[in-house]
Amino acid sequence: MKTFFNLIQEVQKPGLCHRCGGCVTFCTAINYGALEIDDDGKPKYGDPEKCIECGLCYAVCPEINELEEEVKRQANWSAPTGRILDATVARTTDRIVYERATDGGVVTSLLLYLIDRGKIDGAITAKQIGPFQRKPFLCTKKDEILESAGFFFDTVHGMKRFSEYYITYSTEELPSMMKKGLHRVAFVGTPCQINAVRRMQALGIVPSDDIVLCLGLFCSGNFVFNDKAKKKIADVAGFKWDDVKKINIKESIIIHLKNGEKKTVPVEMFDSLKRYACNYCMDYSSEFADISFGGIGAVEGWTSVLTRTPLGRTIIADAKSADILEIFDYHIKPDFASYSLDKIREASSQKRTASRNNRRKLLSRSVEVIG
């Protein structure tokens, strides 16, 4: 039986840990302290003596293939980018949400709609707490969901400490569901997070059965925004960080300034700023989600939406019927949905190919394993 020690050797030491938090989430929920997350979001031993060496933390890791086929089977996954029932381009009809949103505000509007209609008890999202820093947050109220909307550059002063990383381990909030007795929770996350949740569900690990909906985000990678990185971005794009209002990532990185000006920089220019493990991730479009969302393939102010499961399709249909979402007028561009899907598949193919090449190079090097 392989344990967290093996995860350290096989995943952390080669640099493949995505910091999704799946291993710590399970262990924290069951053992209360064997594992913990350090200041940079990396899983580590909290108290090795409390580890019961059950091996489940190893099994739920997205980098371990033990449950890959089972997760694919349960998701009815099909090549090349997972199951897709429908592709559309949409935006919220709520002006408040739209003004806060990164793209079309679809995710936020769906969460508000679902919690307002009593379809969910809460939602695990990421809450902005500083420049490029978010923390996992369990929202149970509409204003908390709205507060989590968008990817904004926070100019609030007085914070004592900022991480250099854009935190992704939303699974850390799963134990809070148990404490609050919530049994119908939506989960918003990146591909690696969705993958970890699906593995936990495949094993029937509590409280993953209380995740009733997975909303996945398109992800080209998480970026390391330390001082050196921020200077490079500002120098390349020609702006000052004090002038930034928000950032959007589509085919390019779009930097919105407070004066209304926009700076556009190719995403490829920032490959060197990606978290190391992101170079080995093959999932761009959250292939195991119920619904996937992102800006690529959509015009500014709109969101590309992929429905992947019957549940996801029902939710989108209900939201459209309730006028929560506005669908792009296909009379303006009849092939927009297929164009969007083509762009998503193209981005997915590029990420998968790059990941495979990077893995090939990594595996060709020897990795020291300490016994």
Where are the domains positioned within the chain? Answer: 4-224+274-363
The residues near 24 (Cβ < 8 Å, ≥ 6 apart) are 35, 36, 37, 43, 57, 169, 171, 172
Residuewise pLDDT in 10s, the chain (371 residues): 799 999 999 999 888 998 888 888 777 545 568 888 887 778 999 888 888 888 888 988 989 988 899 999 999 999 999 999 999 999 999 999 998 887 899 999 999 999 999 999 999 887 765 555 666 788 888 888 888 776 543 332 222 222 223 334 455 555 555 566 778 999 998 998 899 889 989 988 777 888 999 999 999 887 766 677 778 778 888 888 888 877 777 777 788 888 888 888 777 777 777 788 888 999 999 999 999 999 899 888 899 999 999 999 999 999 999 999 999 987 788 888 889 999 999 999 999 999 999 988 887 765 554 44
Closest by CA to 16, choosing from 54, 47, 62, 75, is 62
Q: Which two tokens stand for residue 146?
A: 């709205």
Closest among 156, 154, 155, 142 to 97, alpha carbons compared: 142
How confident is the model at residue 223, as a pLDDT?
72
Tell me what pLDDT residue 288 has.
Answer: 97
Q: Give φ, ψ of 99 to 5 degrees.
A: -70, -30
Both structure tokens of 8: 């350290």
Report yes or no on whether pTM surpasses 0.95.
no
Look up residue 17 and give its amino acid.
C
- Residue 288 DSSP class: T
State the Cα–Cα distance between residues 186 and 140, nearest whole angstrom.
10
Buried-exposed string 263-288: b where 16+ CB fall within 10 A, e elsewhere: bebebeebeebbbebbbbbebbbbbb
- Tokens linked to 166: 């854009």
d(CA 313, CA 213): 12
Q: Which two tokens stand for residue 273?
A: 């700023």
The alpha carbon of 247 is separated from its chain's Cα centroid by a whole number of angstroms, namely 16
Residue type (1 letter), 334:
P
Residue 127 token pair: 């809450």
Distance between CA 283 and CA 252 in Å, rounded? 18
SS3 label, residue 186: strand
Where does residue 127 rank: exposed (0-12), middle (13-18), buried (19+ CB within 10 A)? Answer: middle
Q: Can you tell me the distance from the alpha carbon of 99 to that of 149, in angstroms, rounded to the nearest whole number?
A: 10
CA gap 147, 127 in Å, rounded: 7
Instruction: Identify the pLDDT of residue 271.
Output: 74
Strand partners, 13: none
Question: CA-to-CA distance for 318 and 291, rounded, in angstroms?
Answer: 14
